């Protein structure tokens, strides 16, 4: 399966952000990685494919969506009608908070909409392997697996990885989220890499600024660009677009100052 759709000579990437366990940080990753990618001058759309338990808009302080992805999947209109722009400039396609059933099998057709052309689309998937989650896995040519460094989450992520391998979905790599610095009772990055036989492309520490950002209705990357989680997301964004991550000057000065004090 090709990972870059070439449409009209322009490149489109549709990347699923998926996990085995719920609550490990998919929505957080979609919001912060999208914002970080925008800093690399990429056209990005964050799309909420969690059509039963949508949370993308809520975590950005956006509550009112008259038309959503759910409506598009029900054939009630076109994808561009479900696009909203956050005050940060981030473009999002939200899902509904309703539990009404949608035709999830239309997702493939929806993701091939010309409207997405020339964008990096980050798809916020439902967790696990229920119907909607499998449908998301099947329609994303590339995925990033999010896990926390704990055994139950890792075991469930393995099940998702095995489905991806069965469908030839390209797994770009693993994002280890909520990593606790100086905590020994957690699975190491090396162990995760050898268990999954996949590269860990980013380690996002547990960071209070994630929740502080949500409280303000914005990404952590915007709320505090220098926080440890923001830096981690910028490094992942750099990896995704094949660019070099350059630490902000402030951080370089801080490190230099620390060095001088020693």
Ligand X SMILES: Nc1ncnc2c1ncn2[C@@H]1O[C@H](COP(=O)(O)OP(=O)(O)OP(=O)(O)O)[C@@H](O)[C@H]1O
The 131-170 contact track toward ligand X, x by CB under 6 A, reads: ----------------------------------------
Q: How many residues bind ligand X (CB under 6 A)?
A: 20
Residue 24 sits in the site that holds ligand X (CB under 6 A):
yes
In terms of CB distance, is 12 or 156 closer to Mg ion? Answer: 156
Separation between Cα atoms, residue 148 and residue 143, nearest integer Å: 16
91-93/84-85 β-pairing: antiparallel
- Minimum gap (Å) between residue 44 Cβ and Mg ion: 18
With contacts defined by CB under 5 A, name the span among 54-62, 133-141, 170-178, 186-194 that binds Mg ion. 54-62
Separation between Cα atoms, residue 124 and residue 222, nearest integer Å: 19
Residue 214 sits in the site that holds ligand X (CB under 6 A):
yes
In terms of CB distance, is 12 or 36 closer to ligand X? Answer: 36
For the chain, the first-to-last Cα distance in angstroms comes to 52
**Binder to Mg ion among 13, 16, 19, 27 (CB under 5 A)?**
27
Q: Are 169 and 175 in contact (CB under 8 A)?
A: no
Nearest to 204 by CA among 238, 227, 187, 171: 227
For every residue of 24-54, DSSP letters joined together read SSHHHHHHHHHHHHHTTT--EEEEE--SSS-
Nearest to 54 by CA among 120, 107, 62: 62
- Minimum gap (Å) between residue 118 Cβ and ligand X: 27
Binding partner of 178, given ligand X, Mg ion, none, CB within 5-8 angstroms per partner class: ligand X
- Minimum gap (Å) between residue 27 Cβ and Mg ion: 3
Separation between Cα atoms, residue 241 and residue 237, nearest integer Å: 6
**Binder to ligand X among 48, 71, 156, 207 (CB under 6 A)?**
207
Contacts to ligand X from residues 43-62, by CB under 6 A: 50, 55
Residue 132 sits in the site that holds Mg ion (CB under 5 A):
no
Q: Nearest 5°: CA angle at 228, between 225 and 229?
A: 80
Nearest to 67 by CA among 77, 58, 52, 75: 77
Q: Are 73 and 95 in contact (CB under 8 A)?
A: no
Contacts to ligand X from residues 182-201, by CB under 6 A: none
With contacts defined by CB under 5 A, name the span among 53-61, 128-136, 165-173, 220-228 that binds Mg ion. 53-61
Binding site for Mg ion (CB under 5 A): 26-27, 55
Binding site for ligand X (CB under 6 A): 19, 22-28, 50, 55, 127, 177-178, 204, 206-207, 210-211, 214, 229
């Amino acid at each position: 399966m090709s990972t870059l759709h070439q449409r009209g000579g322009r490149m489109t990437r549709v990347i699923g952000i998926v996990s085995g366990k719920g609550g490990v940080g998919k929505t957080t990753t979609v919001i912060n990685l999208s914002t970080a990618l925008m800093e690399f001058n990429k056209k990005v759309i964050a799309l909420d494919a969690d059509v039963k338990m949508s949370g993308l808009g809520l975590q950005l302080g956006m509550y009112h969506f008259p038309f959503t992805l759910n409506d598009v999947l029900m054939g009630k209109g076109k994808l561009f009608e479900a696009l909203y722009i956050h005050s940060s400039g981030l473009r999002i396609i939200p899902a509904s908070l309703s539990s009404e059933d949608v035709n999830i099998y239309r997702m493939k057709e929806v993701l091939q909409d010309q409207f997405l052309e020339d964008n990096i689309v980050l798809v916020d998937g439902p967790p696990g392997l229920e119907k909607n989650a499998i449908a998301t896995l099947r329609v994303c040519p590339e995925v990033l697996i999010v896990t926390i460094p704990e055994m139950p989450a890792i075991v469930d992520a393995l099940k998702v990885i095995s489905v991806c391998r069965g469908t030839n979905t390209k797994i770009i790599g693993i994002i280890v989220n909520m990593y606790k610095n100086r905590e020994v009772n957690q699975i190491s990055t090396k162990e995760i890499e050898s268990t999954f036989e996949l590269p860990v492309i980013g380690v996002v520490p547990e960071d209070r600024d994630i929740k502080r950002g949500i409280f303000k209705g914005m990404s952590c990357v915007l709320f505090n660009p220098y926080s440890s989680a923001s830096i981690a997301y910028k490094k992942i964004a750099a990896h995704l677009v094949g660019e070099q991550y350059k630490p902000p000057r402030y951080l370089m000065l801080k490190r230099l100052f620390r060095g001088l004090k020693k």
